[in-house]
Structure formats: C-alpha cells, structure tokens
Structure 1
Amino acid sequence: MIRDVEEFVKFLDGLRKRTMQYVKVVPNSILEWKPAEDKFSTGDLLRHLGSSQLMFLNVFEHGKWIYPGHESSKGEKIEEIVHYLEVCHARLTEGLLTLGNDLLAKKVPTLHGHEVSSWRIMMALAEHEMHHRGQLSTYLQMNGIEPPQIFGLKIEQVEKG
C-alpha cells in the first residue's frame, strides 16, 4: 500500500527517468514501424505513455477514465514526442502532489466500474509504464537497436552464484 503521495511521486520520477533512457535511443526512422498491422507503432506507443498518465490523473481528479489518444498530432518526431512525455509527466506529478495524501483515502473507479482504493490504481499506473517500457525494449531490438540497460549492467555481467 502507498502511504505518502510525495514518496510515490519520487518513485514515479525514477521510473520515468529509466523509461526516458529507452525513449531517447529511438530514431525517427522507426516511429512508424509496428510489429503487426493491428499493433501500436513505435510512435503510438511513446505517445500512449504520455496520454495514459493524463488518463490516470483524470481518474484521481475527476473519477472518470478518459483517454486523450495517441495520434501523431501529439508528436511526429522524437523531439516532439519527448516534449509531450515531459509535459504529461509534469502534469501528472503536479496533480498528484496537489491532491496530496487525501488522495490515498479516496475510492476511485476501475475501468470496469467498481470502486477501489486509489493506491491500487496508482500501482496500476506504475505497472502500466513498466509493461510498455518492456514493449519498447522489444521494438528496439526488433529494429536492430540495442536498448539501454535499465540498471547499468547486462545479466551476463552480474556475478554468478
């Protein structure tokens, strides 16, 4: 359970910092690439990471799930997408800090309409980012781009026991 919104925001900042290490190695040349016709393109996936933060914030602020979309108007080039991600993350963290610890006592709806403690949706927000960061890592590898190491080492560099 989350007990302090400010500590959670610090955690989210670290999570986003690690995600941005992956985003910053994405070249413009693969933004339209997708693994299958019915899947996110790389650009869609990145824009989704920003838009979903606004979606989660809307649940906390207004109790409604509203997704702002991931269309290319939110960024066509990687520099524009990076800016969009930064703006969305700043809006999320400012919103969470404004809501403060009162948020933790609040019940919010799930996507299926039943109410849960807000900290459960806060954890889903973090899990969502981690899921899509892993997806981005796969997209990079499928395009011949070595993704950064999340904590600085490859598993082969860790001492075997």
Structure 2
Amino acid sequence: MDCNAYANQLAEFSWEIRNESLEIFERLPEGFMNWRLNNNAMSFAHIAKHLINVDELFLEMLQTGKKTYEWHLGSEEPHYEVENAEFEEIKQRLKTLQKERHAIIQAMDENTLNEKVTGELGEQSNIWSFIMQKLLEHEIYHRGQLSAYLKILQGEGELS
C-alpha cells in the first residue's frame, strides 16, 4: 500500500474513533456530564476535555515543528467540572478537532510519519507511533471507560 493510501486509512480510522466517542457523549443523560465513578476517576466532561488536550498537544507539535512533548495528562489532572453550556462547547471543540486531525493525518507523507518525537523522559518514537498510541489507542481506552460509565448510568437493559 502506498503512503497516501495508508495516511488516508489512518485518517479515516481517526475519524471513526472520534465519531464513536461523540456518540457516547450524545447518549449521556442530561445533567450527568460531571458524573464520575469515584473520587479518583475522571468524569465524562473531564474525559472530553482530556481528549481535547491530547489533540491540541498533537496539533501544536506539528504546527510549531517542536517534536518534543510532555505527557502531563490524565489522572493527575485536577477534577474538571462544567455547566451544560460549557459541555456543549467542549463537544463542539471535539468535532472541530476531529476535522483538523483528519485533514492533517490524511495529508501526511512517509517522511512526516517517520519524523522523530521525544517524550518527557527522553524516549523516542515517531509521529506514526504518537498517532497510534497517544491519540488513537488512548482515545479507544477512554471510549471503553465512557461506555462502561454509560452502562452503569443507564443500566444494561437500555443499551441493546
């Protein structure tokens, strides 16, 4: 497979992953965006904001040419709570980033996918690995978390 076709498939995969995350946020019962499983877990809104932060980290790396990153994200973040209007803005930002991420990945060539990036501990990988692990696999992990939370809130019988 040529690199253009591969980049297009990767972009489409990225699109579908975000679509499924957005579907979960849309199915969330009204007023439950700040619900979390326990005091150490992130809420629906916090996970959505967290996904935004990761996308913005990725875009910043590519736009600035700075190929280093610090992964200060996740459970170490202070709990994040929002009102309904802000949650709607967050969902809209996820949709906007979905489009940006798709276009950028789709336009990547072999050289870009192979560019080296360095994490905060000096570990090296490439843009392809960052996309696969830090963007896509990471969002799939949180999508599973969101699905489990939604099942708890709605009960197994309603999610056929």
TM-score category (smaller protein): 0.7 to 0.9
2:144 is equivalent to residue 134 of structure 1? yes
| TM-score, normalised by the number of residues in structure 2 | 0.74
User: Following TM superposition, by how much is the alpha carbon of 1:98 offset from its aligned partner in structure 2, in angstroms?
Assistant: 4.7
Find the residue that maps to 1:108 and give its secondary structure.
Answer: strand
2:55 is equivalent to residue 46 of structure 1? no
Give the aligned CA root-mean-square deviation in angstroms: 3.2
| TM-score, normalised by the number of residues in structure 1 | 0.74
Contact persistence 1:47–1:75 (CA under 8 A):
no
**How many aligned residue pairs are there?**
149
CA distance in 1, matches of 2:38, 2:14: 30
Gaps of 5+ in 1: 155-161
2:58 is equivalent to residue 56 of structure 1? yes
Mapping of residues 10-29 of structure 1, within 5 Å: 10-29=12-31
User: Following TM superposition, by how much is the alpha carbon of 1:94 offset from its aligned partner in structure 2, in angstroms?
Assistant: 3.0
CA distance in 1, matches of 2:85, 2:119: 31
Q: Percent identity?
A: 22
Gaps of 5+ in 2: none
Find the residue that maps to 1:116 and give its secondary structure.
Answer: strand
CA distance in 2, matches of 1:30, 1:74: 10
User: Following TM superposition, by how much is the alpha carbon of 1:71 offset from its aligned partner in structure 2, in angstroms?
Assistant: 5.0
Contact persistence 1:26–1:78 (CA under 8 A):
no
User: Following TM superposition, by how much is the alpha carbon of 1:12 offset from its aligned partner in structure 2, in angstroms?
Assistant: 0.8
Greater relative CO, 1 or 2 (CA 8 Å, sep 6+): 2
Change (3 A) 1:51 1:106: same
Query: CA offsets, 1:70-89, max 9 Å, x none?
Result: 95579745432220111222
Contact persistence 2:113–2:126 (CA under 8 A):
yes
CA distance in 2, matches of 1:145, 1:78: 23
Contact persistence 1:108–1:115 (CA under 8 A):
yes
CA distance in 2, matches of 1:88, 1:20: 12
Q: Which moved more, 1:140-149 or 1:100-109?
A: 140-149
CA distance in 2, matches of 1:34, 1:98: 37
